[in-house]
Amino acid sequence: MAAEMYKTLFAHLFPGDGDEHGAVLCAGLIETPGGPILTVREVVLAKEGTDWVPGDRGYRKLLAPFVARQARRCRDEKLVYLAVHNHGPGDRVTFSDVDFESHERGFPALLDLVEGMPVGSLVFAENAVAGDIWLPGGRRLVVSRLVVVGPKRIELRPAPGVANPVSRQRYDRQVRIFGERGQTILSHSRVAIIGLGGVGSLLAELLGRLGVGSFVLVDPDRVEISNVPRLVDATGFDAMSWLTAEGRPGWLRRIGKALSTRKIDLSSRVIRRANPYAKIKRHFTAMETRQVAEALKTCDYIFLAADGHRARLLFNSIVHQYLVPGVQLGSRIQAEELSGSVVNVHTTARLVTPSCGCLVCNQAIDARKLNEESKPDAMRKRERYIDKGDAPTPSVVTLNSISASQAANDFLFYMTGLTADEAFQGTVQGRPLDRRLRFVTPRADEGCIDCGKSSESRFGRGQNWPLPMID
């Protein structure tokens, strides 16, 4: 759930009167191997005395016309209907016997009304949530957690979790900052790194040493000799440099390139040296595949360190459709064409979350380049899209490290709840030539197809909405 929606819901449920209040959540559905994930698209508050009234069997209830109206909307838009009410303060909550009885009476009819989508109920305490979800066919599930995605992450459960034992010897200095609970959060988190080049390679090292527990690594390339100065732990052997060196026969260079280390394997090696218990899923492909999109559904955070605008568009859509926060990052060096003089250097860490605009609104996706990248290679050559601008761009490990460390720190403070409430939520750009930082406030267009809340937007839709750029 996006932070602004949670704030609205919390204020409605807990206005300070100590009473119970009601609402309905309309949520997208994401099916995953580990069970469904629900993404809140809309909060509908029940009006006191009109939609939320004294109950016949229980204390309070949602009136049938209000329930039917919201359920029909969920049916028409392929969303999940979730009834909501609250109990008292505290960090533990559960349904009452009367609550469960009302589910038994009402949910079978609701399942018929929504025609194939799940239905359910949530009950909140001030610092806890429990859920009872009914699936078509009679299966029932409980809600394990609610994640609030905003400037900092809030995680609610039915009762406080028990922190797993942490190796004080390994993570002692980190635990002194954010506690064993924070380290447990990192060990249970799942992140994706899209692009394992100069920036992504550094991210793999940093996140591995933080103790992040699960990784999705995506890159279609192998190590080349020009990569070695910028990739963590890369060697000439990874690049098969004695086979791929200039002057070698073409057939020998092709063999060397085929034998060189995949970047995803190099970064896996780096992560496992830092954290031998890490779980790693590798995708030797570009981001724009259905297999990668499926893997990103279950991530807690996405780092986009790839250059392509097709990847940017897909990443942007996943952030807002699946409510998975992330960051788009990189570094750029611009040189004067004739003299070769460096005229501009900047590094970028651009937060992209459901609460702070998107890459489309902030003109970070170039329509011309997107169109160019979408054409087959042969057509691009024929239409002269590939020219000297396709040559390798300048890159230096020290500049890449600025973006990588900024993004890794943002992730760390977000996941462990340390981010200050007033923390800047936009883009941080480094200007090393001037030794300055620039802060760019993001914009958000209400009518945006990605981050807007209109009936046509993809926001919170889950899997029942097409993703762009999937091959």
| Six-digit token string for 387 | 């020219």
Cα 391 from Cα 374, distance rounded (Å): 19
pLDDT for 356: 83
SS3 state at 304? strand
Q: Which long-range contacts (CB under 8 A, 24 or more apart) does 419-423 make?
A: 419/151, 419/152, 421/151, 421/152, 423/151, 423/152
Q: What is the pLDDT of residue 371?
A: 87
Q: Provide the greatest CA pair distance for the chain.
A: 87
The domains of the chain, with CATH numbers, are 3-156 (3.40.140), 168-221+263-440 (3.40.50.720)
CB 409 within 8 A of CB 174: no
Can you read off the two tokens belonging to residue 408? 């890794």
What's the rounded Cα separation, in Å, for the pair 231 and 223?
A: 9
What pLDDT score was predicted for residue 385?
42
From the number of C-beta atoms within 10 Å of its C-beta (0-12, 13-18, 19+), residue 382 rates as exposed
Give residue-wise pLDDT tens across range 266-323.
999 999 999 999 999 999 999 999 999 999 999 999 999 998 999 999 999 999 999 9
What is the predicted pLDDT for the residue at 388? 44
As to burial, measured by CB atoms within 10 angstroms (0-12 exposed, 13-18 middle, 19+ buried), residue 114 is: buried
**Tokens standing for residue 2:** 């996006």
**Distance in angstroms (rounded) separating the CA atoms of residues 221 and 205:** 18
CB 283 within 8 A of CB 295: yes
Spatial distance between the Cα atoms of 274 and 203, rounded to a whole number of angstroms: 12
In angstroms, rounded to a whole number, what is the distance separating the alpha carbons of residues 261 and 267? Answer: 10
**Is residue 90 left, alpha or beta, with left meaning phi > 0 and alpha meaning psi from -120 to 50?**
left
Q: Say which residues have a Cβ less than 8 Å from residue 47's Cβ, sequence separation at least 6.
A: none
Closest CA to 240 of 226, 223, 227: 223
Is the CA virtual torsion 459, 461, 463, 468 positive or negative?
negative
Q: Which of 438, 445, 415, 229 is nearest to 349 (CA)?
A: 438
Q: What is the pLDDT of residue 410?
A: 96
Please provide the DSSP assignment of 191-219 as one string: EEEE--SHHHHHHHHHHHHHT--EEEEE-
Q: What residue ranges of the chain have pLDDT lower than 70?
A: 163-168, 377-392
Sign of the dihedral through C-alpha 441, 309, 396, 173:
positive
Kind of pairing, strands 301-304 and 326-335?
Answer: parallel
What's the gap between Cα 356 and its chain centre? 13
The closest alpha carbon to 78, from 467, 455, 468, belongs to 455
Give dist(CA 398, CA 230) in Å, integer.
9
In the block, residue with structure tokens 């981001």: 287
User: How far is it, in rounded angstroms, from Cα 195 to Cα 325?
Assistant: 17
CB 102 within 8 A of CB 61: yes
Q: pTM of the full predicted structure?
A: 0.93
Contact residues for 321 (Cβ-Cβ < 8 A; gap 6+)? 28, 39, 450, 458, 459, 460, 461, 462, 465, 467
| Amino acid in position 157 | R
